[in-house]
Amino acid sequence: MAVNVLFSARPELWPEYEPLLRQGLTEAGLDFHLATDIPADQVDYVVYAPNGGQCDFTPFTRLKAVLSLWAGVESISDNETLTVPLARMVDGGLTQGMTEWVVGHVLRYHLGMDRHITQQDGSWTPDAPPLASQRTVCVLGLGALGEAAARALAALDFHVLGWSRTAKDIPGVTCQHGADGLREALSQTEIVVLLLPDTPATTNILNADTMALLPEEAKILNPGRGPLIDDEALLAALNSGQIEHATLDVFRTEPLPPEHPYWAHPNVTVTPHIASETRPVTAAQVICENIRRGEAGEPFLHLVDRGLGY
């Protein structure tokens, strides 16, 4: 019997993903039917994106797994109609893109590039930055993306702290966990990178109290999730000088409304959710491998812990 694979994502993605998925499923030796309009009670796997319109999985009576094209699964992890395994997207292209964005903006802060770009008035101010080994960077969240970013920064000889909810061990990174570890890490760091999932436990993890722990004039990078930051508290910290600058790629409302104060704030850089994108070539490989595993009775890759939400 053919394996029925439903593609449930934005229609404009279908022409790009279809040949890649067909190639991967063929190379996996599977007899399959891949389409965007398979009857629900005949679907074995759903290739899923939250903006694809599918939210009620009750009719999918023979469904084996939902395979997300997104790294973030907060919009589906608590869906009560979804009772089968849910896998999030972890792929090399997405990880590399995020690492490049994080390293680029950490170096921008570290080297003072903003000041040099704007200081074109003829003044000559030799003010070399410290070496990377003298600069402390903290990565909040040590999942696949956070670990990759932390390792890349450590390879550049930054003093890298990492924090996660549970204990981790990453060579070259000083790992902390738990509430006490968060306070200790923030009190030491000059540049904070947020790469946590969006869960009830991480909402507003950077708030007035936790930002007050940071050394004065610290800098923040958020390519993770918008709700990780209390926006009003961040604006207050920027206005007081507690936080020198914030570069934000993700927001509670996207696109960021034109009237939002972040746009006009002189100490905020807005990037339009470009830190990392799912690359169809590598993402299709991950999807096809998980379908192969499902049909072979092997464990799925990158399963979501529904209790934790990621």
pLDDT, tens only, 194-220 = 999 999 999 999 999 999 999 999 999
pLDDT of residue 118 exceeding 70, the answer is no
Q: Is 273 a catalytic residue?
A: yes
Which of these is catalytic: 265, 273, 279, 292? 273
Across residues 4-12, what is the average pLDDT? Answer: 97
Bridge-based pairing of strands 136-140 and 159-164 is parallel
Across residues 30-34, what is the average pLDDT? Answer: 98
Q: What is the CATH number of domain 3-91+278-296?
A: 3.40.50.720
At residue 309, the pLDDT reads 85
At residue 229, the pLDDT reads 98
- φ and ψ of 218, to 5 deg: -65, 165
At residue 120, the pLDDT reads 66
**Second CATH level (architecture) for the domain 93-270:** 3-Layer(aba) Sandwich (3.40)
Across residues 214-233, what is the average pLDDT? Answer: 98
Break the chain into its structural domains and give their ranges: 3-91+278-296, 93-270
pLDDT of residue 175 exceeding 80, the answer is yes
258 contact partners, CB below 8 Å, separation of at least 6? none
Question: pLDDT band for position 53 (50/70/90)?
Answer: confident
Which of these is catalytic: 88, 165, 225, 245? 225
Q: Is 225 a catalytic residue?
A: yes
Residue 155 one-letter amino acid: A
pLDDT of residue 121 exceeding 80, the answer is no
Per-residue pLDDT reduced to its tens digit, 57-77:
999 999 999 999 999 898 899
255: preceding bond cis by omega (within 30 degrees): yes
Residue 243 one-letter amino acid: I
**Average predicted confidence (pLDDT) for the chain:** 95
Per-residue pLDDT reduced to its tens digit, 258-283:
999 999 999 999 999 999 888 899 99
Question: pLDDT band for position 119 (50/70/90)?
Answer: low
pLDDT of residue 41 exceeding 90, the answer is yes
